[in-house]
Structure 1
């Protein structure tokens, strides 16, 4: 058996088993990614509200945003440490505050009026999707392994598709050469 055939068979085995094992990771990332894309229609996240039209220079200071957000009486929210992220959305003139416990508050950036206090599970989904929910060990080991394996799967897939095409091309080329040699031989014989 030639080395090329052995490499082809090895590529098939690596591709099959790596793909099978990693399909769990890829499925998890795909499902959480789809949930993030469709989180508003699915009711997982609160729809962005619109604040009073004003320029960014008229926005209330950050300490006031934190004070307003933490004073809404939301379960499990008592201090700034409970805040996961604060986003300023200039197109809507809104501060969007997301808490560690999937609570959310939207505040008009210029008036400080609370526009919404609905639950927002997008933070939870984001941490699941990027792996930070499981800790840095998962992000830097499992996801790195999955990414490198995806590269390996790509190359083994290219080889599994490319090798048979190359072999067919070479066989046709060889057959064409043999056919040309036969034609030349027949011409020599007929002369």
Structure 2
């Protein structure tokens, strides 16, 4: 068997097995990504409320946002350590405080009034999607391998398509040269 043919055979095996094994990771990332895109229509996330119209310079200070958010009597929320992240949405003039336990508090950025304290599972989905739910071992090993494997799958796929085309073109050229 020629070197080109054995490389082609090897490319097919690598493509098949890495694709089969990593399709689980790719499927997981794709499903959680789709859920994130459609989280409001599916009822996974709380709709963004509108705060009182004001400029960002009139916003309440961050320590007050933390104090208001943690004093809402939400389950498993007692301190700043329970906060996953705080988002400021200037278009709505709202702070959205997301907690580790899938709770969310929306606060008017200029008045400090609580607009919503509904459950918000988008935090859970985000941590699943980016891998932080499973820890750094998942993010930096499995997702890195998945990304590198996607590159490998792309190149092996290009080779599997390109090699037969190259062989056909070469055979046609050889046939034309023989006719002349």
Normalised-by-shorter TM-score class: over 0.9
| 1:7-86 aligned within 5 A | 7-86=7-86
Which structure has the larger Rg over C-alpha atoms?
1
Structure 2 residue matching 1:92: 3-state secondary structure: coil
**Which 4+ runs in 1 deviate beyond 3 A?**
none
Structure 2 residue matching 1:31: 3-state secondary structure: helix
Confirm whether residue 178 of structure 1 aligns to residue 165 of structure 2.
no
Render the CA deviation track for 1:31-53: whole Å, top value 9, x for unaligned.
Answer: 00000000011111101111000
Structure 1 residue matching 2:133: 3-state secondary structure: helix
RMSD: 0.6
Aligned to 1:112: 112
Whole-Å Cα distance in 2 between the matches of residues 86 and 178 of structure 1? 73
With normalisation by structure 1, the TM-score equals 0.93
Cα displacement (A) at 1:142: 0.6
Aligned to 1:93: 93
Structure 2 residue matching 1:134: 3-state secondary structure: coil
Aligned to 2:150: 150
Cα displacement (A) at 1:177: 1.4
Render the CA deviation track for 1:102-137: whole Å, top value 9, x for unaligned.
Answer: 000000000111111010111111110010110001
Cα displacement (A) at 1:175: 1.0
**Structure with a larger share of its residues in helix:** 1
Whole-Å Cα distance in 2 between the matches of residues 22 and 139 of structure 1? 14
Whole-Å Cα distance in 1 between the matches of residues 144 and 86 of structure 2? 28
Cα displacement (A) at 1:179: 1.5
Q: Which runs of 5+ in 1 are unaligned?
A: 181-191
Aligned to 1:164: 164
Structure 1 residue matching 2:73: 3-state secondary structure: coil
Number of aligned residues: 180
With normalisation by structure 2, the TM-score equals 0.99
Structure 1 residue matching 2:162: 3-state secondary structure: helix
Whole-Å Cα distance in 2 between the matches of residues 59 and 32 of structure 1? 33
